[in-house]
Amino acid sequence: MDANTQHLLNRGTQLTELLKQKQFVPMPAEEQVIVIFAGVKAYLDKVVTSEISKFERLFIEHIKGKYKHILDNIRTKGTLDKEIDKELHTILAEFIPTCGVQLKEK
């Protein structure tokens, strides 16, 4: 299998893990948006698959604690505007290496 195909399969595995939710514990849409953003923008490609749910929990806590305005903005506007998009990129680039989840070896 070529590297491109393997990369796409790995991304699919990461996204599948990311989309799992506990029964009877629905996640608010704005929280879904920020974690899916991390997945589709390739930030989770570095995270070990078994650590995805831990990442999700830690990232949501981080955003709620320091960047609640992002969740409020997504909830009220119903979309990701350019400023929030840019801010999420910056937050994720800083958060992933320091959040305590196991990263894949290069």
pLDDT digits (tens, 9 = 90+) for 54-90: 999 999 999 999 999 999 999 999 999 999 999 999 9
Residue 105 domain-assigned? no
Measured CA to CA, the distance from residue 38 to residue 81 in angstroms comes to 15
Residue 85 domain-assigned? yes
Which pLDDT score, from 0 to 100, does residue 69 have? Answer: 97
- Which range marks the domain in which residue 40 is found? 3-98
Report the predicted TM-score, pTM, of the whole model to 2 decimal places. 0.84
Which of 8-12, 32-36, 50-54, 101-105 shows the lowest mean pLDDT across its residues? 8-12
Q: Is the pLDDT of residue 15 over 90?
A: no
Q: Is the pLDDT of residue 2 over 90?
A: no
Write down how long the chain is.
Answer: 106
Q: How confident is the model at residue 23 (pLDDT cuts 50, 70, 90)?
A: confident
- Are 7 and 1 in contact by the 8 Å Cβ rule? The answer is no
What is the domain count for the chain?
1
Residue 34 domain-assigned? yes
Which pLDDT score, from 0 to 100, does residue 106 have? Answer: 64
Measured CA to CA, the distance from residue 74 to residue 70 in angstroms comes to 6
Residue 106 domain-assigned? no
